[in-house]
């Protein structure tokens, strides 16, 4: 069975039009893969807006309540995407992180993924439905809702790919891939076509713009999982999407490795 995990960031799910465009991109990938899981971030600035709201109510909000609040952002985008997919005739169903079996430690706002038990997703995935998962969130063994830290949806995508034995994760970003320098500062900056996990990690650690959540690269490296970064805008044009491939030639680990509790 061929399995692909796709991840769409906040900038690519910022509007109704974009949900419809993403549905088209997913439809194209559905022709090449038997099993498709899609992870989404919250729409645009939703997470920042929710955090602002929390701090207006209480200058030092309890972290548990922050997690209850901000996880709503991803829940909005995963349900809307499932609706957009159904509209174009693709069977789809959305799940929260907790429903998807993303088990984390209990450190609210910065939880680590310790295990993934996707048994609620499997019957739908195996029936050929597009399963859409809310990124950035999980559940502790005590049943509390947790989040994985800012930008954590990338790590959700990798954790699910590891659990499902996916071929790779495709990340749709607002930039075409990883550059030697920030392309917004230097438009001539070189785009890397292929990197090892270690090279990608060093680049992400050395820059203040986290093009990928660092922990997602660490987890992919441990599991020999290739990652493909490409631009959401370029993906709309089939002939244009190249991007950056990370760890393209690695052997997959036979056993899943998630994160260490900090």
Binding site for ligand ASP (CB under 6 A): 10, 41-42, 47, 73, 135-136, 150-153
Enclosing H/E stretch for 40? strand 35-40
101 binds, among Mg ion, ligand ASP, none (CB under 5 to 8 A by kind): none
Question: Residue 47 phi/psi, 5° resolution?
Answer: -65, -45
Which residue minimizes CB distance to ligand ASP? Answer: 153
Angle (nearest 5°) at CA 94 between 62 and 174:
75
Beta sheet of 168-173, edge-to-edge order: 92-95, 130-134, 35-40, 3-8, 168-173, 227-231, 244-246, 194-195
Q: Please, which residue, 52 or 117, has the CB nearer to Mg ion?
A: 52
Which residue is associated with the tokens 């929390």? 54
- The site for Mg ion (CB under 5 A) is made up of 10, 41, 47
| Distance in Å, CB of 151 to ligand ASP, minimum | 5
**CA 130 to each of CA 36, 94, 114, 203, 260: distance values in angstroms, whole numbers, following the listed order:** 5, 9, 25, 33, 30
User: Is the distance from CB of 13 to CB of 81 less than 8 angstroms?
Assistant: yes
| Distance in Å, CB of 148 to ligand ASP, minimum | 8
Q: Please, which residue, 30 or 204, has the CB nearer to ligand ASP?
A: 204
Q: Please, which residue, 50 or 114, has the CB nearer to ligand ASP?
A: 50
Q: Please, which residue, 137 or 221, has the CB nearer to ligand ASP?
A: 137
| Distance in Å, CB of 73 to ligand ASP, minimum | 5
| Distance in Å, CB of 47 to Mg ion, minimum | 5
Question: Do strands 244-246 and 227-231 pair parallel, antiparallel, or not at all (unpaired)?
Answer: antiparallel
Q: Please, which residue, 137 or 244, has the CB nearer to ligand ASP?
A: 137
Angle (nearest 5°) at CA 247 between 244 and 249:
115
73 binds, among ligand ASP, Mg ion, none (CB under 5 to 8 A by kind): ligand ASP
């Amino acid at each position: 069975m061929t399995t692909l995990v796709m991840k769409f960031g906040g900038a690519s799910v910022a509007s109704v039009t974009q949900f419809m465009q993403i549905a088209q991109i997913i439809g194209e990938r559905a022709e090449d893969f038997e099993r498709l899981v899609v992870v989404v971030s919250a729409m645009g600035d939703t997470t920042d807006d929710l955090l602002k709201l929390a701090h207006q109510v209480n200058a030092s909000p309890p972290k548990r309540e922050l997690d209850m609040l901000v996880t709503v952002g991803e829940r909005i985008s995963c349900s809307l995407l499932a609706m957009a997919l159904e509209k174009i005739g693709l069977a789809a169903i959305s799940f929260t992180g907790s429903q998807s079996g993303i088990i984390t430690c209990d450190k609210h706002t910065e939880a680590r993924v310790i295990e993934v038990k996707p048994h609620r997703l499997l019957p739908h995935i195996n029936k050929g439905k597009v399963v859409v998962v809310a990124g950035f969130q999980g559940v502790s063994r005590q049943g509390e809702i947790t989040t994985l830290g800012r930008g954590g949806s990338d790590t959700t995508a990798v954790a699910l790919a590891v659990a499902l034995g996916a071929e790779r994760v495709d990340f749709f970003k607002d930039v075409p891939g990883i550059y030697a320098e920030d392309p917004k500062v230097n438009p001539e900056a070189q785009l890397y076509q292929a990197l090892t996990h270690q090279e990608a990690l060093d680049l992400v650690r050395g820059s203040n713009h986290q093009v990928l959540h660092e922990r997602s690269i660490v987890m992919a490296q441990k599991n020999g999982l290739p990652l493909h970064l490409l631009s959401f805008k370029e993906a709309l044009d089939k002939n244009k999407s190249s991007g950056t491939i990370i760890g393209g030639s690695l052997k997959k680990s036979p056993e899943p490795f998630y994160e260490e509790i900090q």
